[in-house]
Amino acid sequence: MASALVPVPDTSWAESSLEQSLTASTASAVLPPARSRIFKIIVIGDSNVGKTCLTYRFCGGRFPQRTEATIGVDFRERTEDIDGEKIKIQLWDTAGQERFRKSMVQHYYRNVHAVVFVYDMTNLTSFNNLPSWIEECRQHSLANGIPRILVGNKCDLQDDIEVPTDLAQKFADFHSMPLFEASAKNPNDSDHVEAIFMTLAHKLKSHKPMMVSQSLLDTNKVHLVHEQKSAMTCWC
Ligand SMILES: Nc1nc2c(ncn2[C@@H]2O[C@H](COP(=O)(O)OP(=O)(O)OP(=O)(O)O)[C@@H](O)[C@H]2O)c(=O)[nH]1
């Protein structure tokens, strides 16, 4: 979906978390404060590989009828309750076209918890360009320390496949990334898209990512606390 969107953090959920924490604190001194966490996942790859459709499928629950080239970054999110904890999964859908990446600012690369590299299984060029996307991430200090996954999209177009699975798997192994082949379009594969992002969220949750809301008992404000993650190498 086209638009250069500047994400505005929605803190309403954090406020309700604060309320819960305050209620909990009066109800029982032994209960730990309610926590919520945000995971910022950046989705990157050539234009037209289906980044917008994948993020839309996960956050919007369907395949968009029509998409336009993304300008800068689009931002989608979904909140899930994972093991009793509120997890907000933010997907940052970046522009694949060079001219539209100019409006991406350094800020977008900050506090990223995971990177999803996407190629189009029916377009060998999009696969061959992956090293330049990996390099771009490296230049923005998104190196091997954070989880990275590789997604081959459009697996529904079986007759047009140009990137064989074994080739993609070798590339993924070389870069220590898990590989997923998926389709944002085919409803039968939508569970797979769901599973990819939920798996990533579970993996992030089991580590120590950014912790966002804490109950603050003596002020009415919710502070955003950014904890530095401990280095993660590979989670596959
Ligand atoms: N058959 C099929 N088509 C898809 C799939 N995902 C996306 N498409 C189509 O591929 C085209 C590009 O999809 P987008 O999601 O806009 O691609 P993008 O990577 O976000 O492109 P940029 O915004 O330019 O970076 C659109 O025509 C989609 O309908 C898929 O899983 N299967």
Task: Provide the pLDDT confidence category of residue 232 given band limits of 50, 70 and 90.
Answer: very low
Instruction: Measure 125 CA to ligand 1 centroid, in angstroms.
Output: 15
Mutate to test the pocket of ligand 1, among 54, 67, 125, 127 (most ligand atoms within 8 A of CB): 67
Q: Is 227 exposed, middle or buried (0-12, 13-18, 19+ CB in 10 A)?
A: exposed
Ligand 1, closest atom to CA 70?
Answer: 23
The whole-number average pLDDT for the span 47-58 is 96
Nearest to 229 by CA among 111, 148, 118, 85: 111
Instruction: Measure 97 CA to ligand 1 centroid, in angstroms.
Output: 13
90 lines ligand 1 (CB under 6 A): no
Output the six-digit token pair for 77: 């999110």
Cβ(169)–Cβ(179) below 8 Å: yes
CB count, 10 Å around CB of 212? 24
pLDDT single digits (tens) 86-143: 999 999 999 999 888 877 777 788 889 999 999 999 999 999 999 999 999 988 887 6
123 lines ligand 1 (CB under 6 A): no
